[in-house]
C-alpha cells in the first residue's frame, strides 16, 4: 500500500451505492458502461451532496458548555479544542467524504472519455463531474492545507493530493497550494461551459452553481473582482429569492428543502455537536441581530438559560445545510465590489439581501462607505451564513488583515485554551492512516 492514496474504507463505504457498476477483473478502476450508468452515479446524493463538518466545531460561531464538551466524540472534541491529534483514532470522514467524491467524479470522467460522443447529454454529465470534483477539492483545501496567502508565496506551500484518474494505485503526492487552487478554478471554468443554466433537483449542479463556487474560491484567494463577477453571474442565472417576510419564521421548520434560497444543495456530515442542547450560538453574535431581523426567530430557538440554539436550517429538516444560497452570492458580490472600490454596487447587493431579512417597519437602507461598509458586509456574512462551514475559511483569510483578526477562546476543565490568529492549528492534520498508507507529508500542527 505504500505510496498510494488508498482511502480503503471510503471505497468500502460506497460499495452499497454502486450496484450498477461492474468491476473490471484486471483493472483497478470500476467503470460505468453507459450514459445511464453515469447519470445514476452522479445522482448518488449520499456521495456527492455531503461535506465536511469539523471546521464548524473549530470556529467562533458556537460554544459548548463543560457538559457539552464532555459529551462530544473524540474527533469532535479534537476539533473543538484544536488538539494536535484531531481525529484521535476515529474515522476521519472530513477527509474521506471529499476524496470519495473525487474518486467517483473521476470514475464518471473516465467513463465519459471511454464512451466518446455517445450522447449530447454527455457534456452536461462531464460538467457535473468536474463541479463535484472541484467542490470536494475546495473543502479539502479549507481544512487540510494552509490558507492561501494574500502576500504570495503559495507555490511554496503544500496543498492536497490532486487526482485526475480513478486509479487508486497511482502514487500520491501533495501538489503545491497554488496549483491546487488553479485546478479547482480550471474544473469550475470548464463546468460553466458544459452545465445547463438550471436543472432540478438542486442536488445536481448548474451554471449558477459553478459560478457560485467560483465566487467562493476567488474570495478565498483574494481575487475580489472575479469573486464579485462570478457571484453576480450566479445570481443572474438563478433568479429565485427567499423573502423571510413571506414565511412563518416562528415555525419549527421555517424553511423547506430545495427552497427558493437554495442554489445548490449540500449538507454536512451528521455529528452530535450541532444537535446538542449544550452547544449554543456565540452570545456576542446574537446581540448583533437588530430589532426586526427575521433571521433571529428563523435561525434560532431560545433555551431556558436565555442562550440560543441553532435550529432553522435551509435543509428544511434537522440536517446542517452547507450548499450555495442566494444570500451567500449577494454577500460575495457585496464584498468583492466593496474591496475593488465599487461601493455603490456593493451597497446594492447588500441592501437587496437585508430587504428580504428585515421587517419593513424596521428596515433602514445601508448607506455606509469605506471601512464602515466593509465591516457591515463582514458582519452580515456572520449573521446570514452561520453554521454552514463558511466561517472557518473566512477566519483563515481575514486573519491575514490586522484589522479583522480574531482570537478564539475555549474553556475545558476550568482552563482557557486559545486559538491565535494565523495559528498552525488553522490547518487540520492529515489522518494518520493516510500518512502510513501513502507516505505523503503531514501538516505541522
DSSP string covering 398-434: HTTSGGG---EEEEETTEEEEE-TT-GGGSPPPPHHH
Residue 18: per-residue pLDDT: 34
3 lies in a domain? no
444 lies in a domain? no
Encode the chain (445 residues) as per-residue pLDDT tens digits: 333 333 333 343 343 333 323 333 334 445 788 999 999 999 999 999 999 999 999 999 999 999 999 999 999 999 999 999 999 999 999 999 999 999 999 999 999 999 877 677 899 999 999 999 999 999 999 999 999 999 999 999 999 999 999 988 888 999 999 999 999 999 999 999 999 998 999 999 999 999 999 999 999 999 999 999 999 999 999 999 999 999 999 999 999 999 999 999 999 999 999 899 999 999 999 999 999 999 999 999 999 889 999 998 999 999 999 999 999 999 999 999 999 999 999 999 999 999 999 999 999 999 999 999 999 999 999 999 999 999 999 999 999 999 999 999 999 988 999 999 999 999 999 999 999 999 999 999 8
352 lies in a domain? yes
Name 229's Cβ contacts closer than 8 Å, sequence gap at least 6. Answer: 336
272 lies in a domain? yes
120: exposed, middle or buried (Cβ count in 10 Å: 0-12, 13-18, 19+): exposed
Q: What is the CATH number of the domain that holds 209?
A: 1.25.40.390
Nine-digit cell at 357? 431579512
* C-alpha of 314 from chain center: 14
60 lies in a domain? yes
55: exposed, middle or buried (Cβ count in 10 Å: 0-12, 13-18, 19+): buried
Range of the domain at 315: 8-438
2 lies in a domain? no
Q: Please state, in angstroms and rounded to a whole number, the distance separating the CA atoms of residues 140 and 117.
A: 32
Centre a 10 Å sphere on the Cβ of residue 31 and count the other Cβ atoms it contains. Answer: 19
- Global pTM? 0.93
Cα angle vertex 54, ends 49, 55, to 5°? 95
Q: How many domains does the chain have?
A: 1
Contacts 24+ apart (CB under 8 A), 297-302: 297/249, 297/250, 297/254, 298/244, 298/247, 298/249, 298/254, 298/255, 299/386
77 lies in a domain? yes
Residues, the chain, total? 445
Q: Please state, in angstroms and rounded to a whole number, the distance separating the CA atoms of residues 413 and 409.
A: 13
301 lies in a domain? yes
Q: Please state, in angstroms and rounded to a whole number, the distance separating the CA atoms of residues 415 and 210.
A: 44
Residue 9: per-residue pLDDT: 35
Amino acid at each position: 500500500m505504500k505510496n498510494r492514496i488508498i482511502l480503503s474504507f471510503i471505497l468500502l463505504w460506497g460499495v452499497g451505492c454502486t450496484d450498477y457498476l461492474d468491476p473490471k477483473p484486471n483493472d483497478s478502476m470500476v467503470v460505468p458502461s453507459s450514459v445511464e450508468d453515469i447519470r445514476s452515479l452522479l445522482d448518488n446524493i449520499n456521495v456527492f451532496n455531503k461535506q465536511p463538518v469539523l471546521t464548524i466545531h473549530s470556529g467562533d460561531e458556537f460554544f459548548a458548555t463543560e457538559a457539552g464538551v464532555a459529551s462530544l466524540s473524540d474527533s469532535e472534541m479534537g476539533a473543538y479544542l484544536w488538539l494536535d491529534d484531531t481525529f484521535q483514532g476515529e474515522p476521519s470522514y472530513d477527509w474521506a467524504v471529499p476524496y470519495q467524491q473525487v474518486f467517483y467524479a473521476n470514475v464518471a470522467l473516465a467513463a465519459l472519455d471511454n464512451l466518446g460522443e455517445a450522447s449530447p447529454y454527455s457534456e452536461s454529465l462531464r460538467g457535473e463531474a468536474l463541479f463535484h470534483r472541484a467542490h470536494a477539492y475546495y473543502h479539502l483545501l479549507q481544512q487540510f492545507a494552509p490558507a492561501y496567502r494574500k502576500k504570495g508565496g503559495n507555490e511554496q506551500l503544500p496543498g492536497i493530493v490532486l487526482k485526475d484518474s480513478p486509479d487508486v494505485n497511482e502514487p500520491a503526492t501533495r501538489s503545491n497550494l497554488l496549483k491546487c487552487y488553479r485546478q479547482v478554478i480550471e474544473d469550475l471554468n470548464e463546468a460553466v461551459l458544459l452545465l445547463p443554466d438550471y436543472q432540478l433537483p438542486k442536488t445536481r449542479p448548474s451554471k449558477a452553481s459553478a459560478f457560485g463556487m467560483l465566487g467562493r474560491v476567488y474570495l478565498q484567494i483574494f481575487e475580489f473582482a472575479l469573486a464579485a463577477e462570478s457571484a453576480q453571474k450566479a445570481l443572474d442565472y438563478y433568479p429565485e429569492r427567499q423573502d423571510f417576510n413571506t414565511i412563518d419564521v416562528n415555525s419549527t421548520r421555517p424553511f423547506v428543502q430545495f427552497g427558493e434560497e437554495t442554489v445548490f444543495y449540500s449538507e454536512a456530515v451528521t455529528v452530535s455537536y450541532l444537535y446538542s442542547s449544550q452547544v449554543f450560538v456565540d452570545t456576542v453574535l446574537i446581540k448583533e441581530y437588530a430589532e426586526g431581523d427575521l433571521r433571529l426567530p428563523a435561525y434560532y430557538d431560545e433555551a431556558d438559560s436565555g442562550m440560543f440554539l441553532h435550529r432553522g436550517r435551509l435543509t428544511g429538516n434537522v440536517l446542517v445545510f452547507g450548499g450555495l444560497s442566494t444570500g451567500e452570492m449577494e454577500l460575495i458580490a457585496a464584498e468583492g465590489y466593496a474591496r475593488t472600490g465599487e461601493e455603490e454596487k456593493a451597497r446594492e447587493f447588500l441592501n437587496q439581501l437585508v430587504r428580504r431579512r428585515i421587517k419593513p417597519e424596521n428596515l433602514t437602507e445601508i448607506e455606509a462607505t469605506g471601512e464602515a461598509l466593509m465591516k457591515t458586509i463582514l458582519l452580515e456574512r456572520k449573521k446570514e451564513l452561520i453554521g454552514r462551514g463558511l466561517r472557518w475559511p473566512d477566519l483563515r483569510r481575514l486573519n491575514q488583515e490586522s484589522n479583522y483578526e480574531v482570537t478564539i477562546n475555549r474553556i475545558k476543565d476550568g482552563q482557557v485554551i486559545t486559538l491565535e490568529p494565523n495559528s498552525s492549528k488553522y490547518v487540520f492534520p492529515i489522518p494518520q492512516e493516510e500518512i502510513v498508507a501513502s507516505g505523503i507529508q503531514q501538516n505541522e500542527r
